[in-house]
Structure 1
Amino acid sequence: MTKKQGMRSALMALALAGGLMATAPAHAEGTLTVSSPQDPGSWDPVDTFLVNWSSVATNIYDGLTYRGPDTKLVPGLATSWEELDNGTRIRFHLREGVTFQNGEAFNADAVKFTFDRLMGDEGKKGPQRSNYAAIKSVEVIDENTVDMNLTQPDPVLLTKLAGYGAMIVPPKYIAEKGEDFFNAHPIGTGPFKMVSYEPKVGVTLEAYAGHWGGAPKLSMVKYRFISEPSTAVAELQAGNVDLVIPPTIPIGMIPTIQEDENIDVVSTVSPTVYALRFNTGNGITADEKVRKAMIYGVDRQAIIDSILGGQAAPIASFQGDLSFGIDPEMKPLPYDPTKAKALLKEAGVAPGAKIQIDIRGNDATFNEVVQAVASYLQIIGLNATIKPYETNVLLNDIIPAGKTGAMFQQSWGGWTLDYDNTAYFMYHTGEKWNPYDSDPDLDKLLESQRAITDRAKREEILQSIAHYTADRALEMPLYNLNAIFGVSKRVKGFVPVPDSRLRLTEVSVD
């Protein structure tokens, strides 16, 4: 038996042990099967922030605007728009003849309903509303025209309208069925309709032939929620899955996958960044000196070189090279264990002090990274233990409630490719992802840039925010990771997208 055959046999055995593998690969005609690592739990656009929601829901819903793999913004449900009143009013001209997947008409009333709901009590329950805080009201001008009135200009709003909370939803359907029903039975105007959803297991989408952009090439897309990376790879190699989406594939398994003549590994630069954020509210990491000592004490470049295999780049702030607001001259703190030990001594931290690092349990690559981090921290005198959580538990119950250890994993897509979309959520007082810190000066900086339309001036403020947060050592910036996809060669027309928001209309399968 060759090494390749042995590896394949081992992976197939693993899949069989998990009860996930059929006796032989079988594909319905025109069906694409996708492995996604997480069930978002709700399909309502106002309920979520998760990339794994968007990798499915980008096919179910449309926004007024659309941004594709080339990152250029183009018309969506709005065919055109103009900014009026010095940017405090945007008039949208809507696409005519569009219907939701249940036959309900899309029109100006649907747009108003969507944003009234987002900015009202229903939106208040979820994490998306503050992203659209500049919207004061939506006014129906006629059946195919709406005005979006803003409290102040928002230079990123048109991009925000291409995803997540701004996806247009059907008012009559929601009124008839109710909010809870809509969470599990979404209806949009997108090219695929969800026809089944089994929590923790998967969803099935069928092509919507009536889509305004034309029917998709695929007849069906099946998403399977496979949280264990090795199982997802085994299913890909067994032919039971056609596409594995980020952040599933462990870096260490890429060479093995590349040996398989039926599979391609495709990667592209992404906005996704990884950090270990600090509990600044209590414990030894409430002290800035301790936080900086921990950053100095970890050789992040060595981790990138040894574990990430060229699929990542170092970062100095919590953003990657695609982000508007990055300062290319800003450098990460260097690896300096001597300085780290000195800072810990100044802070009065006793050798052997214990800290806890909270992570997502299903992220195999990051698990290796954090093991290395813990080893480096041990060298400077800190005893780090790693606590894995189920992803939804960590994101929904632990971090927002301020129940983490000294450090906690934060990966962030920054899907607008604008630092505001990261920084405001991470650092502004009262935001879900900022359970510990409150800094009035930082709040002012974050708020000030949101109303500025002068691109150069706004970029300067965003760069100052990056420097400010680095000076305060609010997180240990780790790396900007490529988006890595495992793709069966039976898949045609697949284009990797930086933000994993997959639109599958042009994809087909042999």
Structure 2
Amino acid sequence: MRFSPRLRAVTAAAGLLLVTSALSNPVMAEGTLTVSSPQDPGSWDPVDTFLVNWASVATNIYDGLTYRGPDMELVPGLATEWETLDDGTRIRFHLREGVTFHNGEPFNATAVKFTFDRLLGEEGARGPQQSNYTSIDSVEVIDDRTVDFHLNKPDPVLLTKLAGYGAMIVPPVYIKEHGEEYFNTHPVGTGPFEFVSYEPKVGISLKAYDDFWGDGPTLSNLDYRFISEPSTAVAELQSGGVDLVIPPTIPISMIPTIEDDPNLSIVTTPGPTVYALRFNTKSGITRSEKVRRALIMAVDRQSIVDQILGGQAQVIASFQGERSFGFDPNMEPLPYDPDQARQLLQEAGVEPGARVEIDIRGNDATFAEVTQAVAAYLGQVGVIATIKPVETNTLLNDVIPQGKTGEMFQQSWGGWTFDFDNTAYAMYHSGQKWNPYDSDPKMDELLEQQRSLTDRNRREQLLQQIAHYAADRALEMPLYSLNAIYGINNRVEGFVPAPDSRLRLNRVSVQ
């Protein structure tokens, strides 16, 4: 890991400051923290999104039954304890008392059942989260403070999944009264901050929830501004217009600019976010596995990490970082070998001057620079690459899911559970939103088999096998795992960087 000279020490003990506790003493909330976020997710409903930028805001609005903070430890959230029964096919949760939603509605077992009936029903089917929770067959209310989750098969990652995204507990009465569309833009949860206002493409404002069940908040207001242009976000940080810039905004090239300002600091931590250029396996020259391997071998990824990313990343052999469960430390990336790449292209019948289109997110300046380097390397083996920037929401919600990309397209994935299943199932299983081109019965079987295993060692072996199989088929060009890079004003105190950008800011304060 590479640190700024003024990088603040981050310890596991500091991370514990973010764990909420019902036994905490109340603190007078004061001060406003303004955060620059690179993307407006478009909906604040937990079932509607997979975006990290949703979680960086909504982790302060909502709670799950469990909670996982920057220290990576899973602890109680809205459930105070749980027990696994019936050979792993039933989990009983005991719920926290005295918790209310921001509209005054009580949190109870009915709210939990409503949340998961909704997630697993028609409303959830319209969003991307449902597939992460399909091991849940039903939720049974035992009494007002107890629920049983009946599973159709054991799910070794479920407790972690309950700490984020689609599993955030929502208010049944509020949603029934106001409707789904209203809830999309007027979120209500049980978290430390409650909704004030939202202006699409501009920002969202929150304020301290006085009746929050846990620790803090110490801030009176939390404002997010959606600033997609990195140079603008950094300029706002320098001028004091924002206090915190969250990943993946800050380009590596702008880190020295922030480090040179005595009022600012760079804070980094190893993150789960991995970057790849995935292949269209249905059309174009990338239909050929041999061509895909050639394109991978044509690119010197270590030089990209060293020269463009300033050492703030690690080259990856599969679509996961080293902290991911399922990571195989013995798996080697395909080597940089332009001569072998030319030979493979010739064997595949690809003539010099063949073209590929690479679709990338339009607001990701760092990746744009990386892609330019990739295109230059491909040019050296006779493949002409055209880079096509696409507005991020359009790329993610229309172009990729509808299979309208060129031969290669950017895929950045947080894998926030730090479990390869979260990535691999979404990327490789037939019919998934992020897998518009490929269908492989063998891969489907491997993915489904590991999901029901409680044997940790056997499951890890299968996940490693999936990683090797995807690499053998050259389904993507794995590039790198990037550190989470934050820019912060030194007036901010108590900030602990989250590896997955899911920031719980209830214990942060400003001078």
- Range into which the TM-score falls when normalised by the shorter chain: over 0.9
Secondary structure in 1 matching 2:325: coil
Aligned match of 2:318? 317
Aligned match of 1:120? 121
Q: Give the letter for the 2:340 counterpart.
A: K
Aligned match of 1:467? 468
Aligned match of 1:226? 227
Corresponding position: 1:481 with 2:477: no
Secondary structure in 2 matching 1:38: coil
Unaligned runs of 5+ in 2: 1-28
Secondary structure in 2 matching 1:52: helix
Corresponding position: 1:54 with 2:23: no
Corresponding position: 1:195 with 2:201: no
Q: Report if the CA contact (8 A) 2:275-2:478 is conserved.
A: yes
Alignment of 1:219-298 (within 5 A): 219-298=220-299
Corresponding position: 1:417 with 2:418: yes
Secondary structure in 2 matching 1:102: coil
Aligned match of 1:388? 389
Aligned match of 2:87? 86
Partner Cα separation in structure 1 for residue 485 and residue 329 of structure 2? 24
Aligned match of 2:33? 32
Partner Cα separation in structure 2 for residue 76 and residue 345 of structure 1? 57
Q: Give the letter for the 1:146 counterpart.
A: V
Partner Cα separation in structure 2 for residue 271 and residue 227 of structure 1? 21
Q: Report if the CA contact (8 A) 1:244-1:485 is conserved.
A: yes
Aligned match of 1:12? none
Q: Give the TM-score normalised by structure 1.
A: 0.94
Aligned match of 2:451? 450
Per the TM alignment, residue 383 of structure 1 is displaced from its structure 2 partner at its CA by: 0.6
Identity %: 75
Q: Report if the CA contact (8 A) 2:415-2:422 is conserved.
A: yes
Aligned match of 2:429? 428
Q: Give the letter for the 1:84 counterpart.
A: L
Q: Report if the CA contact (8 A) 2:362-2:392 is conserved.
A: yes
Q: Structure 1 residues 93, 29: closer, same or farther in 2, change over 3 A?
A: closer
Alignment of 1:351-390 (within 5 A): 351-390=352-391
Aligned match of 2:5? none
Per the TM alignment, residue 337 of structure 1 is displaced from its structure 2 partner at its CA by: 0.3
Partner Cα separation in structure 1 for residue 121 and residue 151 of structure 2? 15
Q: Count how many residue pairs are aligned between Structure 1 and Structure 2.
A: 483
Partner Cα separation in structure 2 for residue 213 and residue 346 of structure 1? 63
Unaligned runs of 5+ in 1: 1-27
Per the TM alignment, residue 413 of structure 1 is displaced from its structure 2 partner at its CA by: 0.4
CA deviation digits over 1:365-385, x for unaligned, max 9?
A: 101000000000000000100
Q: Report if the CA contact (8 A) 2:30-2:218 is conserved.
A: no
Q: Give the letter for the 1:36 counterpart.
A: S
Q: Give the letter for the 2:384 counterpart.
A: N
Q: Give the letter for the 1:301 counterpart.
A: Q
Q: Report if the CA contact (8 A) 1:34-1:241 is conserved.
A: yes
Q: Give the TM-score normalised by structure 2.
A: 0.94
Partner Cα separation in structure 1 for residue 311 and residue 495 of structure 2? 23
Q: Report if the CA contact (8 A) 1:208-1:215 is conserved.
A: no
Per the TM alignment, residue 285 of structure 1 is displaced from its structure 2 partner at its CA by: 0.3
**RMSD over aligned Cα, in angstroms?**
0.7
Per the TM alignment, residue 215 of structure 1 is displaced from its structure 2 partner at its CA by: 3.3
CA deviation digits over 1:391-444, x for unaligned, max 9?
A: 100000100000000000000000000000000000000000000000000000
Aligned match of 1:75? 76
Per the TM alignment, residue 62 of structure 1 is displaced from its structure 2 partner at its CA by: 0.1
Partner Cα separation in structure 2 for residue 72 and residue 225 of structure 1? 30
Q: Report if the CA contact (8 A) 1:58-1:502 is conserved.
A: yes
Aligned match of 1:327? 328
Secondary structure in 1 matching 2:113: helix
Per the TM alignment, residue 325 of structure 1 is displaced from its structure 2 partner at its CA by: 0.1
Aligned match of 1:182? 183
Partner Cα separation in structure 2 for residue 200 and residue 482 of structure 1? 26
Q: Give the letter for the 1:143 counterpart.
A: D
Aligned match of 1:397? 398
Q: Report if the CA contact (8 A) 2:426-2:432 is conserved.
A: yes
Q: Give the letter for the 1:207 counterpart.
A: A
- Runs of 4+ in structure 1 deviating by more than 3 angstroms, as ranges, are none
Per the TM alignment, residue 258 of structure 1 is displaced from its structure 2 partner at its CA by: 0.2
CA deviation digits over 1:55-109, x for unaligned, max 9?
A: 0000000000000000000000000000000000000000011000000000000
Q: Give the letter for the 1:439 counterpart.
A: D
Aligned match of 1:205? 206
Partner Cα separation in structure 2 for residue 471 and residue 37 of structure 1? 35
Aligned match of 2:104? 103
Partner Cα separation in structure 2 for residue 314 and residue 453 of structure 1? 31
Per the TM alignment, residue 354 of structure 1 is displaced from its structure 2 partner at its CA by: 0.9
Q: Give the letter for the 1:104 counterpart.
A: E
Alignment of 1:141-156 (within 5 A): 141-156=142-157
Per the TM alignment, residue 283 of structure 1 is displaced from its structure 2 partner at its CA by: 1.0
Secondary structure in 2 matching 1:289: helix
Secondary structure in 1 matching 2:454: coil
Secondary structure in 2 matching 1:494: coil
Q: Give the letter for the 2:57 counterpart.
A: V
Q: Report if the CA contact (8 A) 2:358-2:388 is conserved.
A: yes
